[in-house]
Amino acid sequence: MFRERKSRMQASKLEFRLRMWIMIAIVFVGFWAPWSSAVGLRRGESLLGWLAAEISRTTGLLPFSQAAPWLIVAGAVAAALGAWLRVWGAAYLGYGTVHHGQMQAHTMMADGPYRFVRNPLYLGGWFMMLAVSLLMPAAGAPVAMVLMTLFFLRLILAEEVFLAGELGEPYRDYLKDVPRLFPRLRGSLPAAGNKPIWLTAVITEVNPIGIFFAFAFLSWNYDVQLMLKGILVSFGLSLILRALFLNRKNEDPNAA
């Protein structure tokens, strides 16, 4: 029964191949939030502004002028965690695996963040979404976070079944030793000896770095539109860099 339920929760191969576009659609729905007026919230009011106002109104501990900066700091911390996990994980897993259209199972990965948590890339993506959700309409952010969380879980379950089938007993032992999403403070596995490729990871993970940049450096006047523009620029740049990097890899299969 549990295996059948888990099988129903898995993402399909099509979902995996189109995962970036599905995530973009979820983000779009969160920003669109056409149901805002139906729940008594203004469509133009960001979750950041709404939360700051609610903290000020209901607790009386912080005025709006202080609550908003603290929420921005929280967003920056979430974005920093997301960027670090994405870059750290991509440095060890490699561009070809991270952004491939199909699931890959070349070898066991027990280096870098994969000694502490099985899915650092999805965990990093979740923290990225948490930061971005602060800029969404207050009615759209919770819906987008729930949809993204469920989609990530579907992808994770599909990958676990695929990797267990491809790698066999060593991977099933890995599932027992390393937690899925809540990292251990100390790795229980010996390092496998894989070396990180940091430059490639930074180049191909520009978007999470851009989200952190928006919260850390573009938030001085609480201009949500300016922060969103910074995030959109970083997203566009990430697509360009990935395309250039993919073209370079196609021309030179031995390129790092």
In a domain, 1, yes or no: no
In a domain, 256, yes or no: no
Phi-psi label, residue 206: left if phi above 0, alpha if psi -120 to 50, beta otherwise: alpha
Domain, as residue range, for 165: 6-251
**Tokens representing residue 199 in the block:** 């430059």
Average pLDDT over residues 228-254: 77
Q: Exposed e or buried b for every residue in 197-211, given b needs 16+ CB within 10 A?
A: beebbebbbbbbbbb
pLDDT class of 235 with cuts at 50, 70, 90: very high
> Which tens digits make up the pLDDT trace of 177-199?
999 999 988 766 777 778 899 98
In a domain, 21, yes or no: yes
Q: How many domains does the chain have?
A: 1
Q: What residues form DSSP beta bridges with 46? A: 137
pLDDT at site 26: 98
DSSP states of 101-150 as a string? SS---SS---SGGGGT-S-HHHHHHHHHHHHHHTTSBTTTHHHHHHHHHH
254 pLDDT exceeds 50? no
In a domain, 197, yes or no: yes
pLDDT at site 192: 72
**Tokens representing residue 245 in the block:** 């990097």
> Which tens digits make up the pLDDT trace of 140-164?
999 999 999 999 999 999 999 999 9
> Which tens digits make up the pLDDT trace of 36-87?
888 888 877 899 999 999 999 888 778 988 999 999 999 999 999 999 999 9
255 pLDDT exceeds 60? no
> Which tens digits make up the pLDDT trace of 206-227?
999 999 999 999 998 889 999 9
Higher pLDDT, 253 or 7: 7
Average pLDDT over residues 109-132: 94
Residue carrying structure tokens 């370079």:
248
In a domain, 69, yes or no: yes
The rounded mean pLDDT for the chain is 88
